Structure 1
Amino acid sequence: MHEWVSFIYLIPFVIHILLHWDWIKAIPKRFFQQLSIENRFNVFWDFLLYALMIFVTISGILISQAALPLFGLNIKPDSFWFLMLHIT
């Protein structure tokens, strides 16, 4: 069940990224020029959270034991990914 919920979670995540893509493209240009320190911190924090969500999602998919085999993808998970998923 946990793996399937993870796949369902990807839908709103991708929609959110697509809806805000213009902001995502624009922010690096303004990062050092027009943003206050508070806004720079918020942009950094947003990027960090985004990177962690991507990492957790990919690691969860790579250690999938129920969902991926159903699609015919039999990936032998490396112990590194088990460790990373449980740390995060």
Structure 2
Amino acid sequence: MAYVYDPANIFARILRGEIPSDTVLETAHTLAFRDIRPQAPLHVLVIPKGPYVTFDHFAAEASEAEIMDFMRAAAQVCALVGAAPGQ
């Protein structure tokens, strides 16, 4: 499947700093931020910084470093916001 990344999408604009965000965690390959219109009391978005269209696109084409960074960042965010088991 061919993926077409839109550099004007809202997440790309957030990554470039054109739209402000309430950052929870930022790493080399990942950005986590609070949703501006949360659908739950605790709603944090975790996105890769690369030009990926969908999760399957990310899983298929991201480097091992990007995938590992994303997964570790997701775990860190859970701990930071108290969503990890035992917290």
> Same fold, TM exceeding 0.5?
no
Q: Tell me the TM-score normalized by structure 2.
A: 0.35
**TM-score using structure 1 length:** 0.34
The structure number with the bigger radius of gyration is 1
Q: Going by fraction, where is strand more abundant, 1 or 2?
A: 2
